[in-house]
Structure 1
Amino acid sequence: MEHAEFNKDLLKFLNASPTPWHAVATMKKRLDAAGFEELDEKDDWSLDQNRSYYVVRNGSSIVAFRTGARDASASGIRMVGAHTDSPCLKVKPNPELRRKGFFQLGVEVYGGVLMNPWFDRDLSLAGRVTFLDGHDKVTDTLVDFRKSVAFIPSLAIHLDKEANSSRKVNAQTDLPPVLMQVPEDDATSFNDLLSQQIVSESGIKVRKILGYELGFYDAQEAGYVGLRDEFIASARLDNLLSCYIGLQALLNTSGDEAALLVCNDHEEVGSVSSEGAQGPFLTAVLDRWCGSGKAKAIARSMMVSADNAHGVHPNYMDKHDENHGPILNKGPVIKVNHNQRYATNSRSAAVYRHISDELGLPHQTFVVRSDMGCGSTIGPLTAANLGVTTLDIGVPQFGMHSIRELIGTEDGFTMFRVLTEFMQREQVF
């Protein structure tokens, strides 16, 4: 895969994946096309060498792996981990609000949303809906309105003179989006609108909406930015970019060595769920794959936790340690925190640096300022659960947790090349 092709396909992936369920569905299609076999956790598994498999949990987390030519207990497994979820505004169970003829929906803030950028943006809506179909069967389906259906208008500065100096956002009262205008006697429910959307998208008859997990998202598609197209702007770069990089690396490996990609949901809210990185999903897959040889396999394995990093902002340079300010388009960022907010150690960092240097590709290092708190990733959670040597790394970006984020056009492809080599390398250590 060439550089331009990589970025063009990345834009397609981002635009097709407005929610974790859509992201996993998109990955499934690509894995199916590459000959991977889907496994069901409810069934017995019979895994063969030199085969490729994947398994999905809750529709929002996925583990895909190649068994390789040798037993994993003897060869170890080259693992890459990322997460499918991004901060957003989720629709509440009883969301309808009618005020002055405007139809609005109540929303719950999911994750550490940077809330101000959500105002005055064209918003669409997508997610999973569970319903009773025409045969009285409980069914799940994905919906994506795909067009601009909502807006959160700012209060005019004439009515809020302190907006530019001390504006605060109240998540309960300030964020309900406006969807349409309705007459005073209108009785349209949100469930009615969902039923119509399901029929429109899939033609399935809906008897009754039973539940949903839906989130608003930026209707503007991903695209290039910059006089020389140096950047890519998009929603959900944190962390669908890493999902895409890991997927492409797995698809482009030789398949000779045991390799695995895990993309977990719920990282943005702590990863404590059945399909989150602090849950049993990956461990369950490895138990069934490796059996009694799992401990030996883990001892020979390495996990690369891929999650975007904070690029040094030219307007806020003092927010970085002066020797550890990653620059966009200057290489992926090895993330170090000795208090174990990141799982990187000297050994795991050395593996990445060595491969990157062999390929003649750049890399950078990030350490948070000593007087600031440090975020975290699925890396420490996975390392603690499995006991596997782990590296935390990511592409540098601006605007993390905003409705629209920014990366350089060079860094994703650079990390893809290194991780592809990592996933097919015979000897990791």
Structure 2
Amino acid sequence: MKNLKYLLLAGIALWVGACDVIDQEPVDSVSNEQLFTKGADAQAAIIGAYKGVLDNGFNYMVMAELPTKNVRGNALNRQFEQINNLQFLDDNGYYNQLWTQNYLIINRANTILARVPGIQDPSFSEQQKKQILAEARMIRAFAYFNMIRYFGDVPLITEPTASPNLPTLQVRRDNVNDVYAQVFQDLEVARTDLPDSYTSALQTKGRLTKMAAHALAVRIYLYRKEFDKASTAADAVLAQKSKLNNTYAALFEDKNADESIWELQYDNLNPNTIASTYLPPSLGGTRMIQVHPDIVAQYEAGDSRKAATFAVGDGEEYVKKYTRRVSRDDNFIIFRLAEVLLSKAEAAAEVAYPNATSLALLNQVRVRAGLKELTSADVPDLASFRQRIYKERRLELCYEGHYWFDLVRTDQIGPVLGLTDPKYKLWPVPAVEILRNPNLLPQNPGYGD
């Protein structure tokens, strides 16, 4: 791990709107002299860190769909089209956005972790301080895990820097195992110190909780194929929330449904454009990303998720999970119960099969979708169960930022997409970052030759 000794941010860009989720006055910028002398400064800073996650939300939701057969790119966005055509080019600007936005999030979290412990404010309790530090740890763990999944070895920065622009820092890529070690250290603090809930249900959906930290642990362990640990982490979630109480459509027609564990909260001051990206011109959108017919063909008769996910406009299907084009305030669900149920089902099956628990969890998701329960005869061996669980994950979680990473972790990018070169499991380090820092940021193998 490297501890970089750079100047603290002279001004953290917080750009915080008066969100429904957090009762905090908006702050546009704060000078270094003003920062972190009062509890209110810490509250403003953690909202700034959440705002960084919001700003990255669109890319988080679409990038994991673009290289798959869930969507089709088109000439309206050449960079999207490149990725959809499986042309992973290091000069594609969206890779650079992922890189810079995640390091902005990390830098904001680092600043909080460095400065909040020193606040001496009688109105700012140790418990409040501990909570904000745990939120910052969780946000940093989330960002670094995503960077690992995108790029593999990445620079590990754990102290605040004068700029999130890595070339000015002259840092090198760290081994992925060292980055994971920091992720697990942060995650352990988050799982211990985050609260179970906040003062309202809305705050609890929008801010990080212990349940969200356990859900992140499930996702990380499943990605690493540490199935025992994934199963145990899932049990911590299921001990608090174990039943799917919402209809599938309600997850997107409404906001902050019971099933949701962590949901990014958008409003008129913090908007997103995902609805316009998916909606057809007749509904005021651009349909910059189209629906691939392959996923439409995967649904069984009677699957209610199909009608909740797609509608037809201008002669072809479009994604209808995000429809708030005018208000631009569709929320993004980062963690929800169905993902945990399917992850637990998969992990338990990988540990031991046949597995009645795995089948019951899979069936819970299927029944909510209006489908019949599977029997042990339908999935007599692990290979057949894997086929079912992978398909259910695809249909249940489509357009929520999962599918590419599921294909990678289950070694399916070859069979499904024809990408037989293992280099494609990682994306190229952005060319602009390498040009500015060529000696310390080498390109991932197979790119830039």
TM-score category of the 2 structures, normalised to the smaller one: under 0.3
Whose relative contact order is higher, 1 or 2, with alpha carbons under 8 Å and at least 6 apart? 1
Higher strand share: 1
